[in-house]
A and B are shown apart, each in its own frame.
Chain A
C-alpha cells in the first residue's frame, strides 16, 4: 500500500489499520432496550504530494483494494495540491517501532453478558425510588481498538486500547416540568481501562439517591439570578476546562482549519508566554500518558510519541494542542494530539487528556468564606461562541450557599461569562482528594463530525462574582 502511494508520486505515506469492537447495553424502564456488538475493520492511508495531504480508506484488505485506496489518497492529495496555495505539509522525521496496550485491571471479557445485564437491571430498578420518575436509564459502553501504524519512513507501531464507561439516569416528570439527574458526573464515568471503570461508577450504590434527587428537583426553587460566588463540582469544572480551554487551545482551530464549522479561537500563537488566561492557581496540562486517561495511548494517529506538556502554567498561556504540521508553523514540536475516530476518518487535532491540576483546599473548605453563592453539579446545557469566549452553561442540580453553608436544593442552575475573565475569577481549587479523571465519550469536531474520547481531570473549584441564572433571564 505504501509502495503504491510512493510509486504514484507521494513523497510520504502512512497507513493505519484498525479493528474495533464496541459493546453497548441499554436498560430503560425495566427493559433491555439495547444489546449491541459492533465490529469494524479497515485501513486509512494518508499520502503527501507537493505539500498537500490526501486521505482514503477502505474496509477491504485484498491487494487490489489496498492499492486502490492508496491510489485514491494520492489522487486526493494531487487534487488538493493543484488548487489554492501551498498546504505546507512536510515529511516527518521521527521513526518509531514499538508496541503499547492499555493497562487493564479486569478484562471485561471475564464478566459475562448476563452479569453485565443484571447489574444494569438492578441499578435501573433502584432509580425508581420516587413516584415522579418517568424514565430510568442505565448503560454500559465497552470498547477495544487494535491499531497498527506503518509509515513510508519506517515507523511500525502496534497499539491495543481498552476504554470503558457506565452511567445511570433518572428523569422525573410533573407539573409541566422534566428534571434529569445522571450519575456519575453528567454523562457517566468513562476511563481508559477495563471493567474496573464500571465498578468504580458504583451505579447500584447511587441509584436510589439519584432518583430521589430528580424527584425533589421538580419542587425545588428556581436558581436565583445575580452576580454571586460560584462553586462548581468536579465534572462541571471538567466541562468548563473542555469547552473554554481545551478547544480554545487547539492549534488547528487557531490557524483557521475549523473556521467554517467548529470555529476559531480567541488565542494567538504570539500570545504564548504572555497572555494571562486565568488566576495563578490555574495550571492546565496535556498528558496523553496519564494512567486511566480516556485518551491515553503511546502514539497518536500520525505516529508521534505521546507527551506531557503545559498549556496554561500558573495562569499564563504557554502551549497548544498540536500536530506536526501546525507545531512546525509556530516553531514548536507536536504535542501528539492527532486522532481519528476510526480507520475511516482522517486524523485531526483533538483534545486528548487535558487536565486542570488540583489545588490545595479540601473540598468542604471551598464553602467557608462564601457569603452568598451557588454550588452547581453535573452539566445539563453547554454553549460557547465560535471563538471560545462567551459561554453559558447549565447544570442538573444546585444548592444555595449562605454564609459558608450549603443550603436548600435549587433547580435549573445556569451561569455565564467570558473565558479569561472567568478563569481569572478562580480563587480556589480543591485538592487531589477530589480530583478525578472525568472522561467524555462524545466530543465532536470536524466535518463530517468525528467523535473523540477525551479526559479532563479536574477537582471542584470556586469562582467569584459570576453571572448566575442567565439562562432564564435577569
Chain B
C-alpha cells in the first residue's frame, strides 16, 4: 500500500466517522528477517500488515480503537468501538484537540527502494558471506540480516494530513569461539551499504582478539564503551527527557533546567533528520518534530513534550507524542549524542590502564533518580594497558550512575547508528574516567 492508498484509506475513515473530531492513523509494514546460527538459517520471515488506528472525540471525551480490517465494515466497527470507549470516559480537565494542517519534509535518505525490494535470497547471500568468515576461523556465527519498509499517514478532521515512508536494514553478527566471542553490527536505510564481508571480518577479529580471556578484579575502572555499548546505555536517559517524568519528579532533570547536569562536553539531542538515522518528520499526534537539544554542553536546556504536556507546562510542543492512548508521556525516538574530537584509537592510546567494552547486555535501572544502571559486558571485552589492547577479559557486571559517569568523560569523533530492533541511536564511543564493576564471570 503506497502513500496515496493510505491517504485514501484515512480519508475514508474520517468520512465515515460520526464523532465530533476524528484522527485516523494508517500504518503499513513489510518486514523481513533472515536469522541464523551455526552457519544455518533457522528463521526466514516475511510479514505484511496494515493497521488503522482511530481516535474519536465526542462530547470532550476520547476513545481509541485499532483494526487491521480495511474494508468499510472493519472501519465502521473500529469507529463504533472508539465512540463506545469515548462514551464511558470521564471528561478530562483539558479539552482534547487534534493536530491541524502542517507541512513537513521527509529527511533525505529515509526511503531507499533497493531496501524495500530486497528479498529472502539477497538476505541469505549476505548471511552466506558472514558464514564464510566463521568457517575460515573455525567459529560459529549467529545473528540476523533484516530489511523492512514502513509507511504512516495521519489525517484528522482538523485538517492534518501527513505521510511518511521509510526503510530500514540491519545486521548483527556474533562469532563464537572456544572461549571468546565477538560482535559487529550495521544499521541504516540502504541495504546496498550492508556489507556481510565487513561484518563477518570485524566480528571474527573481535573473537580472535578476546581469546584466552584473563580475569580482572571488579572495582572502579577507566572504561571505553564502543557505540553499541554506549548507545544502549544512553537510551536509559530517554525517559528522563520526557516532560511528564520531569514534572512528576522521577527524572534526574526534575527542577534542574538551566543547571549543569553532566560534563561540559556532553550534548544530547533528538534529531529525526540526522543523516545516519533519517526518520519520520512528525510524531504520532501529527505534530511536526522539532530537532531538539535536551542537554547542551552539559546544561539541561529543555524537556520533550507532546500536545498534552506542552499545554500542561505551557511549553512549546516539540513533537514527541506517542500513539494515543499514551500513559507514558512524550518520548525521544531519534536520540543523538554528539561526538568528540579524538578517534577511538586515540582514546585507547591515551589510556594507561582500562577496559574496552564492545557490547552490553541486560541493562536495567537500579535507581531511577540517581540513574544507577546495572548490566553485563559481552561479546568482546578487552584489557588496555599503556595505551594498547593487551588481552581479552572475562565478562563483568557493572553498577554505575550514568550521569555521574558522564560528568567525567570523552567522546570519540566517530558517529555510529546503533541499536537494531530494540532502539535506535546515533552515538560515538565514550571513555569514562570512572566506571564501577561489581562482579565478574568465569567466561
Residues of A whose CB lies within 8 Å of any CB of B are 24, 26, 28, 31-42, 44, 52-59, 69, 72-73, 75-88, 112-114, 117, 121, 134-135, 137, 139, 171, 173, 176-178, 255-261, 263, 344-346, 348, 381-387, 389-390, 392, 394, 412, 414, 416, 447-449, 470-474
- B44, B421, B441: which has the most chain A beta carbons within 10 Å? B44
B376 and A390 form a contact (CB under 8 A) = yes
B421 and A34 form a contact (CB under 8 A) = no
How many whole Å from A81's CB to the nearest CB in chain B? Answer: 8
Instruction: For B326, give its contact among A32, A34, A69 (CB under 8 Å).
Output: A34
Instruction: For A178, give its contact among B32, B249, B441 (CB under 8 Å).
Output: B249
- A35, A39, A81, A449: which has the most chain B beta carbons within 10 Å? A35
By beta carbon, the residue of chain A nearest B220 is A473
Cβ contacts under 8 Å, A37 to chain B: 63-66, 81-82, 85
- B45, B49, B174, B441: which has the most chain A beta carbons within 10 Å? B45
A37-B82, A392-B438 given as contacts; is B67 within 8 A of A87 (CB)? no
Residues of B whose CB lies within 8 Å of any CB of A are 31-51, 62-69, 77-78, 81-82, 84-90, 92-93, 119-121, 123-125, 127-128, 131, 140, 142-144, 146, 172-174, 176, 183, 248-250, 254, 324-327, 361-369, 372, 374-376, 378, 395, 397, 399, 420-422, 436, 438-439, 441-443
Give the CA-CA distance A255 to B81 in the complex, in Å. Answer: 45
How many whole Å from A454's CB to the nearest CB in chain B? Answer: 17
Instruction: For A40, give its contact among B42, B66, B87 (CB under 8 Å).
Output: B66
Instruction: For B327, give its contact among A26, A57, A86 (CB under 8 Å).
Output: A26
Supplied contacts A256-B140, A386-B361, 19 more A-B pairs, CB within 8 Å: A26-B327, A33-B326, A36-B66, A37-B65, A39-B65, A39-B67, A72-B46, A78-B120, A79-B44, A84-B40, A134-B248, A176-B369, A260-B173, A344-B47, A381-B365, A385-B378, A447-B33, A447-B146, A470-B438
Cβ contacts under 8 Å, A82 to chain B: 121, 124
Cβ contacts under 8 Å, B44 to chain A: 52-55, 76-77, 79-80
Cβ contacts under 8 Å, A255 to chain B: 37
A82-B124, A178-B368 given as contacts; is B421 within 8 A of A447 (CB)? yes
B374 and A392 form a contact (CB under 8 A) = yes
A32 and B90 form a contact (CB under 8 A) = yes
B120 and A76 form a contact (CB under 8 A) = yes
Give the CA-CA distance A54 to B124 in the complex, in Å. Answer: 12
8 inter-chain pairs at a CB distance below 8 angstroms, sorted by A residue, are A36-B64, A42-B68, A80-B124, A83-B124, A258-B142, A260-B172, A390-B439, A447-B146
Give the CA-CA distance A425 to B372 in the complex, in Å. Answer: 28
B42 and A260 form a contact (CB under 8 A) = no
Give the CA-CA distance A135 to B249 in the complex, in Å. Answer: 9
7 interchain residue pairs of minimum CB distance: A34-B325, A173-B249, A80-B41, A79-B120, A76-B44, A259-B142, A83-B124
How many whole Å from A112's CB to the nearest CB in chain B? Answer: 8
How many whole Å from A121's CB to the nearest CB in chain B? Answer: 7
Cβ contacts under 8 Å, B176 to chain A: 256, 259
How many whole Å from A167's CB to the nearest CB in chain B? Answer: 12
B375 and A383 form a contact (CB under 8 A) = yes
Cβ contacts under 8 Å, A345 to chain B: 47
Give the CA-CA distance A256 to B141 in the complex, in Å. Answer: 9
B41 and A35 form a contact (CB under 8 A) = no
A75 and B119 form a contact (CB under 8 A) = yes
A472 and B372 form a contact (CB under 8 A) = yes
By beta carbon, the residue of chain A nearest B50 is A59
- B41, B62, B172: which has the most chain A beta carbons within 10 Å? B41
Give the CA-CA distance A257 to B366 in the complex, in Å. Answer: 30
A41 and B144 form a contact (CB under 8 A) = no
Give the CA-CA distance A387 to B395 in the complex, in Å. Answer: 11
A38 and B66 form a contact (CB under 8 A) = yes
Cβ contacts under 8 Å, B67 to chain A: 38-40
A381-B365, A390-B397 given as contacts; is B248 within 8 A of A135 (CB)? yes
Instruction: For B131, give its contact among A84, A137, A394 (CB under 8 Å).
Output: A84
Cβ contacts under 8 Å, B88 to chain A: 35, 112-114, 117
B397 and A260 form a contact (CB under 8 A) = no
Cβ contacts under 8 Å, A414 to chain B: 366
A36 and B325 form a contact (CB under 8 A) = yes
Cβ contacts under 8 Å, A260 to chain B: 37, 142-144, 172-174, 183
B131 and A471 form a contact (CB under 8 A) = no
How many whole Å from A335's CB to the nearest CB in chain B? Answer: 19
How many whole Å from B223's CB to the nearest CB in chain A? Answer: 16
B399 and A471 form a contact (CB under 8 A) = yes
B85 and A57 form a contact (CB under 8 A) = no
Give the CA-CA distance A415 to B397 in the complex, in Å. Answer: 13
By beta carbon, the residue of chain B nearest A344 is B47
By beta carbon, the residue of chain A nearest B376 is A385
A83 and B85 form a contact (CB under 8 A) = no
By beta carbon, the residue of chain A nearest B366 is A471
Cβ contacts under 8 Å, B183 to chain A: 260
How many whole Å from A394's CB to the nearest CB in chain B? Answer: 6
B36 and A392 form a contact (CB under 8 A) = no
Cβ contacts under 8 Å, A472 to chain B: 366-367, 372, 399
How many whole Å from A472's CB to the nearest CB in chain B? Answer: 7
B374 and A390 form a contact (CB under 8 A) = no
B250 and A384 form a contact (CB under 8 A) = no
A32-B92, A392-B397 given as contacts; is B45 within 8 A of A55 (CB)? yes
A471 and B35 form a contact (CB under 8 A) = no
Instruction: For B64, give its contact among A34, A135, A178, A257 (CB under 8 Å).
Output: A34
How many whole Å from A123's CB to the nearest CB in chain B? Answer: 15
